[in-house]
Structure 1
Amino acid sequence: MIVERIVSETKDQFPIGMRVLAVDDDPTCLLLLETLLRRCQYHVTTTSLAVTALKMLRENKNRFDLVISDVHMPDMDGFKLLELVGLEMDLPVIMLSANGDTKLVMKGITHGACDYLLKPVRIEELKNIWQHVVRRKKFDRKDQNNSDSQNKPHAGSGEAAGIGMLITV
Protein backbone atom coordinates (compact mmCIF):
# COMPACT_ATOMS: atom_id res chain seq x y z
CA MET A 1 0.00 0.00 0.00
CA ILE A 2 1.25 3.48 -0.86
CA VAL A 3 0.75 5.00 2.61
CA GLU A 4 2.71 2.19 4.24
CA ARG A 5 5.55 2.75 1.76
CA ILE A 6 5.61 6.49 2.44
CA VAL A 7 5.64 5.92 6.19
CA SER A 8 8.28 3.18 5.99
CA GLU A 9 10.52 5.28 3.71
CA THR A 10 10.55 8.09 6.24
CA LYS A 11 9.81 6.33 9.52
CA ASP A 12 13.22 7.09 10.99
CA GLN A 13 12.43 10.79 11.07
CA PHE A 14 8.90 11.55 9.93
CA PRO A 15 6.86 13.19 11.40
CA ILE A 16 9.80 14.56 13.39
CA GLY A 17 11.02 17.58 11.53
CA MET A 18 7.84 18.18 9.55
CA ARG A 19 7.98 21.78 8.33
CA VAL A 20 5.00 23.83 9.44
CA LEU A 21 4.17 27.43 8.58
CA ALA A 22 1.95 28.92 11.31
CA VAL A 23 0.01 32.13 10.60
CA ASP A 24 -1.91 34.08 13.25
CA ASP A 25 -2.21 37.81 13.90
CA ASP A 26 -2.64 37.25 17.66
CA PRO A 27 0.90 37.14 19.11
CA THR A 28 -0.17 35.15 22.18
CA CYS A 29 -1.96 32.50 20.12
CA LEU A 30 0.95 32.35 17.67
CA LEU A 31 3.47 31.84 20.48
CA LEU A 32 1.34 29.10 22.04
CA LEU A 33 0.90 27.40 18.67
CA GLU A 34 4.64 27.59 17.98
CA THR A 35 5.49 26.16 21.41
CA LEU A 36 3.09 23.24 21.02
CA LEU A 37 4.26 22.48 17.48
CA ARG A 38 7.89 22.47 18.64
CA ARG A 39 6.97 20.06 21.46
CA CYS A 40 5.70 17.75 18.71
CA GLN A 41 9.21 18.04 17.21
CA TYR A 42 8.07 19.89 14.10
CA HIS A 43 10.16 22.62 12.47
CA VAL A 44 8.08 25.77 12.82
CA THR A 45 8.14 29.08 10.98
CA THR A 46 5.72 31.75 12.20
CA THR A 47 4.33 34.97 10.85
CA SER A 48 1.58 37.30 12.00
CA LEU A 49 0.69 38.38 8.45
CA ALA A 50 -1.02 36.29 5.81
CA VAL A 51 0.63 38.29 3.02
CA THR A 52 4.05 37.45 4.47
CA ALA A 53 3.08 33.78 4.66
CA LEU A 54 2.00 33.85 1.03
CA LYS A 55 5.26 35.52 0.03
CA MET A 56 7.30 32.85 1.86
CA LEU A 57 5.29 30.09 0.23
CA ARG A 58 5.64 31.58 -3.24
CA GLU A 59 9.40 32.12 -2.89
CA ASN A 60 10.06 28.48 -2.04
CA LYS A 61 7.17 26.08 -2.53
CA ASN A 62 9.17 23.14 -1.14
CA ARG A 63 10.09 24.83 2.13
CA PHE A 64 6.95 23.73 4.00
CA ASP A 65 4.97 20.52 4.41
CA LEU A 66 1.85 22.07 5.95
CA VAL A 67 0.24 25.45 6.70
CA ILE A 68 -1.82 26.30 9.78
CA SER A 69 -3.68 29.59 9.40
CA ASP A 70 -6.03 31.61 11.56
CA VAL A 71 -9.33 32.44 9.86
CA HIS A 72 -9.66 36.07 10.96
CA MET A 73 -6.65 38.27 10.20
CA PRO A 74 -6.56 41.99 9.36
CA ASP A 75 -4.35 41.90 6.25
CA MET A 76 -5.98 38.96 4.46
CA ASP A 77 -8.83 36.65 5.35
CA GLY A 78 -7.65 33.12 6.18
CA PHE A 79 -10.04 31.74 3.58
CA LYS A 80 -8.38 33.88 0.90
CA LEU A 81 -4.99 32.50 1.95
CA LEU A 82 -6.47 28.99 1.78
CA GLU A 83 -7.77 29.69 -1.72
CA LEU A 84 -4.44 31.05 -2.98
CA VAL A 85 -2.42 28.21 -1.49
CA GLY A 86 -4.83 25.74 -3.08
CA LEU A 87 -4.53 27.38 -6.49
CA GLU A 88 -0.77 27.94 -6.51
CA MET A 89 0.73 25.04 -4.57
CA ASP A 90 -0.12 21.61 -3.30
CA LEU A 91 0.06 21.95 0.46
CA PRO A 92 -2.38 20.83 3.12
CA VAL A 93 -3.87 23.78 5.01
CA ILE A 94 -5.41 23.59 8.47
CA MET A 95 -7.71 26.43 9.47
CA LEU A 96 -7.66 27.74 13.03
CA SER A 97 -10.29 29.83 14.79
CA ALA A 98 -11.86 30.65 18.13
CA ASN A 99 -15.22 30.53 16.35
CA GLY A 100 -16.60 27.01 16.06
CA ASP A 101 -19.71 28.02 14.13
CA THR A 102 -20.73 25.11 11.90
CA LYS A 103 -21.11 27.33 8.83
CA LEU A 104 -17.58 28.66 9.26
CA VAL A 105 -16.14 25.17 9.75
CA MET A 106 -17.98 23.90 6.66
CA LYS A 107 -16.77 26.88 4.64
CA GLY A 108 -13.18 25.98 5.50
CA ILE A 109 -13.60 22.31 4.67
CA THR A 110 -15.53 22.87 1.44
CA HIS A 111 -12.92 25.40 0.30
CA GLY A 112 -10.11 22.87 0.69
CA ALA A 113 -8.93 22.94 4.30
CA CYS A 114 -7.91 19.49 5.44
CA ASP A 115 -8.86 20.24 9.04
CA TYR A 116 -10.36 22.98 11.21
CA LEU A 117 -9.03 23.39 14.74
CA LEU A 118 -10.61 25.44 17.49
CA LYS A 119 -8.61 27.73 19.77
CA PRO A 120 -7.13 27.09 22.19
CA VAL A 121 -5.38 24.33 20.29
CA ARG A 122 -4.46 21.22 22.23
CA ILE A 123 -1.18 19.36 21.77
CA GLU A 124 -3.12 16.13 21.19
CA GLU A 125 -4.60 17.65 18.03
CA LEU A 126 -1.23 18.88 16.79
CA LYS A 127 0.45 15.51 17.31
CA ASN A 128 -1.72 14.10 14.52
CA ILE A 129 -1.50 16.83 11.88
CA TRP A 130 1.29 14.96 10.08
CA GLN A 131 -1.39 12.57 8.80
CA HIS A 132 -2.61 15.29 6.44
CA VAL A 133 0.82 15.41 4.80
CA VAL A 134 0.88 11.63 4.37
CA ARG A 135 -2.63 11.66 2.91
CA ARG A 136 -1.69 14.44 0.49
CA LYS A 137 1.38 12.49 -0.66
CA LYS A 138 -0.73 9.35 -1.01
CA PHE A 139 -3.30 11.10 -3.20
CA ASP A 140 -0.60 12.85 -5.23
CA ARG A 141 1.10 9.53 -6.00
CA LYS A 142 -2.19 7.79 -6.70
CA ASP A 143 -3.25 10.62 -9.02
CA GLN A 144 0.14 10.55 -10.75
CA ASN A 145 -0.04 6.76 -11.21
CA ASN A 146 -3.55 6.96 -12.65
CA SER A 147 -2.49 9.73 -14.99
CA ASP A 148 0.59 7.83 -16.17
CA SER A 149 -1.25 4.56 -16.68
CA GLN A 150 -4.01 6.17 -18.73
CA ASN A 151 -1.60 8.34 -20.77
CA LYS A 152 -3.72 11.38 -20.04
CA PRO A 153 -2.51 14.82 -19.00
CA HIS A 154 -2.23 15.26 -15.25
CA ALA A 155 -5.58 16.62 -14.08
CA GLY A 156 -4.09 18.48 -11.11
CA SER A 157 -3.12 16.93 -7.85
CA GLY A 158 -4.87 19.68 -5.90
CA GLU A 159 -8.19 18.60 -7.36
CA ALA A 160 -7.62 14.95 -6.49
CA ALA A 161 -6.28 15.81 -3.06
CA GLY A 162 -9.24 18.07 -2.36
CA ILE A 163 -11.66 15.24 -3.01
CA GLY A 164 -9.65 12.97 -0.74
CA MET A 165 -9.48 15.55 1.98
CA LEU A 166 -13.24 15.99 2.01
CA ILE A 167 -13.68 12.25 2.36
CA THR A 168 -11.15 11.90 5.16
CA VAL A 169 -12.34 14.77 7.35
Structure 2
Amino acid sequence: MSQVLLIEDDPAVREGLHLALTRQGHGVRAVETGEQGLAALDGVDVVVLDLMLPGMDGFEVCRRIRATGTLPIIMVTARGDDMDVVAGLEAGADDYVVKPVQPRVLEARIRAVLRRSAESTGATDVERHGELEIDRGALVVRRAGEPVALSPTELRLLLELSGAPGRVRSRQQLLEAVWDHGFLGDSRLVDACVQRLRSKIDSDPPRYIQTVRGFGYRFGPL
Protein backbone atom coordinates (compact mmCIF):
# COMPACT_ATOMS: atom_id res chain seq x y z
CA MET A 1 0.00 0.00 0.00
CA SER A 2 1.48 3.34 -1.05
CA GLN A 3 1.84 6.07 1.55
CA VAL A 4 0.58 9.51 0.50
CA LEU A 5 1.43 12.72 2.35
CA LEU A 6 -1.34 15.26 1.78
CA ILE A 7 -0.43 18.87 2.65
CA GLU A 8 -3.61 20.96 2.42
CA ASP A 9 -4.80 23.78 4.71
CA ASP A 10 -8.48 23.75 3.71
CA PRO A 11 -10.21 21.33 6.15
CA ALA A 12 -13.00 20.37 3.74
CA VAL A 13 -10.61 19.64 0.87
CA ARG A 14 -8.18 17.83 3.15
CA GLU A 15 -10.85 15.60 4.67
CA GLY A 16 -12.47 14.89 1.29
CA LEU A 17 -9.21 13.88 -0.37
CA HIS A 18 -8.14 11.89 2.68
CA LEU A 19 -11.34 9.86 2.50
CA ALA A 20 -11.18 9.39 -1.29
CA LEU A 21 -7.53 8.29 -1.34
CA THR A 22 -8.07 5.94 1.59
CA ARG A 23 -10.96 4.31 -0.25
CA GLN A 24 -8.69 3.87 -3.25
CA GLY A 25 -6.28 1.84 -1.15
CA HIS A 26 -3.63 4.37 -0.15
CA GLY A 27 -2.33 5.06 3.29
CA VAL A 28 -2.80 8.79 3.84
CA ARG A 29 -1.03 11.14 6.22
CA ALA A 30 -2.79 14.54 6.12
CA VAL A 31 -1.37 17.78 7.54
CA GLU A 32 -2.31 21.44 7.14
CA THR A 33 0.98 23.37 7.03
CA GLY A 34 4.23 23.17 5.13
CA GLU A 35 6.21 22.87 8.35
CA GLN A 36 4.13 19.88 9.42
CA GLY A 37 4.59 18.35 6.01
CA LEU A 38 8.39 18.60 6.09
CA ALA A 39 8.35 16.91 9.49
CA ALA A 40 6.18 14.04 8.20
CA LEU A 41 8.18 12.85 5.16
CA ASP A 42 9.58 9.67 6.70
CA GLY A 43 8.13 6.59 5.01
CA VAL A 44 6.16 8.57 2.41
CA ASP A 45 5.97 7.44 -1.23
CA VAL A 46 4.40 10.54 -2.81
CA VAL A 47 3.48 14.08 -1.71
CA VAL A 48 0.27 15.86 -2.73
CA LEU A 49 1.03 19.51 -2.04
CA ASP A 50 -1.24 22.56 -2.08
CA LEU A 51 0.68 25.61 -3.28
CA MET A 52 -1.29 28.20 -1.33
CA LEU A 53 -0.40 27.35 2.27
CA PRO A 54 -0.23 29.70 5.28
CA GLY A 55 3.26 30.48 6.55
CA MET A 56 5.68 28.47 4.44
CA ASP A 57 4.01 28.25 1.04
CA GLY A 58 3.95 25.23 -1.22
CA PHE A 59 6.69 26.54 -3.50
CA GLU A 60 9.17 26.62 -0.62
CA VAL A 61 8.03 23.22 0.65
CA CYS A 62 8.54 21.81 -2.84
CA ARG A 63 12.02 23.30 -3.13
CA ARG A 64 13.05 21.89 0.26
CA ILE A 65 11.77 18.40 -0.53
CA ARG A 66 13.46 18.40 -3.92
CA ALA A 67 16.74 19.69 -2.48
CA THR A 68 17.04 16.64 -0.24
CA GLY A 69 15.70 13.80 -2.37
CA THR A 70 13.71 12.44 -5.30
CA LEU A 71 10.32 11.96 -3.62
CA PRO A 72 7.54 12.38 -6.23
CA ILE A 73 5.54 15.60 -5.76
CA ILE A 74 2.11 16.41 -7.20
CA MET A 75 1.15 20.02 -6.63
CA VAL A 76 -2.40 21.30 -6.27
CA THR A 77 -3.13 24.77 -7.62
CA ALA A 78 -6.28 26.87 -7.68
CA ARG A 79 -5.55 28.08 -11.21
CA GLY A 80 -4.20 26.15 -14.17
CA ASP A 81 -3.50 28.98 -16.60
CA ASP A 82 -1.09 31.28 -14.80
CA MET A 83 2.46 31.45 -13.50
CA ASP A 84 1.66 29.34 -10.42
CA VAL A 85 1.93 26.21 -12.54
CA VAL A 86 5.25 27.19 -14.10
CA ALA A 87 6.71 28.30 -10.76
CA GLY A 88 5.61 25.09 -9.09
CA LEU A 89 7.12 22.93 -11.81
CA GLU A 90 10.35 24.91 -11.70
CA ALA A 91 10.44 24.40 -7.92
CA GLY A 92 10.60 20.66 -8.58
CA ALA A 93 7.05 19.29 -8.80
CA ASP A 94 6.56 16.26 -11.05
CA ASP A 95 2.93 16.92 -11.97
CA TYR A 96 -0.06 19.04 -10.99
CA VAL A 97 -3.84 19.02 -10.62
CA VAL A 98 -6.19 22.01 -10.58
CA LYS A 99 -8.83 22.71 -7.93
CA PRO A 100 -11.53 21.59 -7.54
CA VAL A 101 -9.63 18.32 -7.47
CA GLN A 102 -11.36 15.31 -8.97
CA PRO A 103 -10.32 12.28 -6.87
CA ARG A 104 -10.15 10.00 -9.92
CA VAL A 105 -7.81 12.43 -11.68
CA LEU A 106 -5.59 12.70 -8.61
CA GLU A 107 -5.57 8.92 -8.23
CA ALA A 108 -4.42 8.55 -11.85
CA ARG A 109 -1.65 11.11 -11.31
CA ILE A 110 -0.50 9.35 -8.12
CA ARG A 111 -0.35 5.96 -9.81
CA ALA A 112 1.56 7.45 -12.74
CA VAL A 113 4.28 9.09 -10.61
CA LEU A 114 4.61 5.97 -8.46
CA ARG A 115 4.96 3.83 -11.59
CA ARG A 116 7.65 6.15 -12.92
CA SER A 117 9.43 6.02 -9.58
CA ALA A 118 9.51 2.22 -9.49
CA GLU A 119 10.02 1.46 -13.16
CA SER A 120 13.21 -0.07 -14.46
CA THR A 121 14.00 -0.61 -18.12
CA GLY A 122 15.72 -3.92 -17.42
CA ALA A 123 18.71 -2.96 -19.57
CA THR A 124 22.20 -3.67 -18.29
CA ASP A 125 24.34 -1.53 -20.58
CA VAL A 126 26.03 1.70 -19.61
CA GLU A 127 25.87 4.55 -22.10
CA ARG A 128 28.54 7.22 -22.27
CA HIS A 129 27.94 10.54 -23.94
CA GLY A 130 30.97 12.73 -23.40
CA GLU A 131 31.26 13.29 -19.66
CA LEU A 132 27.71 12.00 -19.12
CA GLU A 133 27.27 8.35 -18.10
CA ILE A 134 23.83 6.68 -18.00
CA ASP A 135 23.51 3.26 -16.39
CA ARG A 136 20.06 2.06 -17.51
CA GLY A 137 20.18 -1.12 -15.45
CA ALA A 138 21.06 0.55 -12.15
CA LEU A 139 19.17 3.76 -13.05
CA VAL A 140 22.22 5.81 -12.12
CA VAL A 141 23.46 8.93 -13.91
CA ARG A 142 26.93 10.39 -13.50
CA ARG A 143 28.47 13.56 -14.83
CA ALA A 144 32.27 13.71 -14.90
CA GLY A 145 32.25 10.67 -12.63
CA GLU A 146 30.03 12.22 -9.98
CA PRO A 147 26.51 10.85 -9.30
CA VAL A 148 23.67 13.17 -10.33
CA ALA A 149 20.54 13.18 -8.16
CA LEU A 150 17.52 13.11 -10.48
CA SER A 151 13.86 12.87 -9.57
CA PRO A 152 12.00 9.87 -11.05
CA THR A 153 10.41 12.10 -13.68
CA GLU A 154 13.72 13.75 -14.62
CA LEU A 155 15.32 10.31 -14.94
CA ARG A 156 12.46 8.97 -17.05
CA LEU A 157 12.71 12.00 -19.35
CA LEU A 158 16.46 11.55 -19.75
CA LEU A 159 16.07 7.83 -20.50
CA GLU A 160 13.36 8.59 -23.05
CA LEU A 161 15.43 11.21 -24.89
CA SER A 162 18.78 9.43 -24.70
CA GLY A 163 17.28 6.14 -25.89
CA ALA A 164 17.27 7.49 -29.45
CA PRO A 165 20.06 10.06 -29.86
CA GLY A 166 19.37 12.57 -32.60
CA ARG A 167 15.69 11.74 -32.82
CA VAL A 168 13.41 14.73 -32.29
CA ARG A 169 10.59 14.13 -29.79
CA SER A 170 7.61 16.45 -29.68
CA ARG A 171 6.32 17.74 -26.37
CA GLN A 172 3.16 15.68 -26.85
CA GLN A 173 5.15 12.52 -27.47
CA LEU A 174 7.14 13.15 -24.30
CA LEU A 175 3.97 13.84 -22.30
CA GLU A 176 2.55 10.50 -23.37
CA ALA A 177 5.79 8.54 -22.81
CA VAL A 178 6.98 10.14 -19.57
CA TRP A 179 3.87 11.49 -17.84
CA ASP A 180 1.25 9.10 -19.29
CA HIS A 181 -0.77 12.16 -20.31
CA GLY A 182 -2.97 12.04 -23.38
CA PHE A 183 -3.98 14.69 -25.87
CA LEU A 184 -4.87 17.32 -23.25
CA GLY A 185 -1.50 17.17 -21.47
CA ASP A 186 0.22 20.42 -20.56
CA SER A 187 3.48 21.05 -22.42
CA ARG A 188 4.69 23.19 -19.51
CA LEU A 189 5.40 19.92 -17.67
CA VAL A 190 7.91 19.03 -20.36
CA ASP A 191 9.57 22.45 -20.60
CA ALA A 192 9.97 22.81 -16.82
CA CYS A 193 11.38 19.30 -16.45
CA VAL A 194 13.83 19.87 -19.31
CA GLN A 195 14.98 23.07 -17.61
CA ARG A 196 15.59 21.24 -14.32
CA LEU A 197 17.34 18.36 -16.06
CA ARG A 198 19.60 20.71 -18.00
CA SER A 199 20.60 22.47 -14.78
CA LYS A 200 21.91 19.13 -13.48
CA ILE A 201 23.53 17.47 -16.48
CA ASP A 202 24.04 20.11 -19.13
CA SER A 203 26.00 23.25 -19.85
CA ASP A 204 25.13 26.69 -21.23
CA PRO A 205 24.51 26.58 -24.16
CA PRO A 206 22.96 23.10 -23.86
CA ARG A 207 25.15 20.29 -25.09
CA TYR A 208 23.00 17.22 -24.44
CA ILE A 209 19.35 18.28 -24.63
CA GLN A 210 18.71 20.56 -27.55
CA THR A 211 15.55 22.50 -28.36
CA VAL A 212 14.04 22.09 -31.80
CA ARG A 213 12.01 25.25 -32.19
CA GLY A 214 8.32 24.78 -32.84
CA PHE A 215 8.47 21.05 -32.19
CA GLY A 216 10.26 19.67 -29.14
CA TYR A 217 13.62 18.30 -28.02
CA ARG A 218 16.35 15.91 -29.07
CA PHE A 219 19.27 14.29 -27.26
CA GLY A 220 22.65 14.38 -28.88
CA PRO A 221 26.04 15.47 -27.51
CA LEU A 222 27.58 18.18 -29.65
TM (norm. structure 1) is 0.75
Deviation by residue 1:27-49 (Cα, 9 ceiling, x = unmatched): 11101111111121110000001
Match of 1:25 in 2: 9
Of 119, 143, 155, 2:148 maps to 155
Is 2:91 the counterpart of 1:114? Answer: no
Return the offset for 1:118: 1.0
Secondary structure (helix, strand or coil) at the match of 1:21 reads strand
Count of residue correspondences = 147
Higher relative contact order (CA 8 A, sep 6+): 1
Of 40, 54, 58, 1:74 maps to 54
TM (norm. structure 2) is 0.58
Return the offset for 1:130: 1.6
Give 1:84-99 correspondences, 5 Å limit: 84-99=64-79
Higher helix share: 1
- Unaligned 5+ residue runs, structure 1? 1-16
Secondary structure (helix, strand or coil) at the match of 1:127 reads helix
RMSD, aligned CA: 2.8
Q: Is the 2:77–2:84 Cα contact (8 Å) retained in structure 1?
A: no
Higher strand share: 2
Match of 1:137 in 2: 118
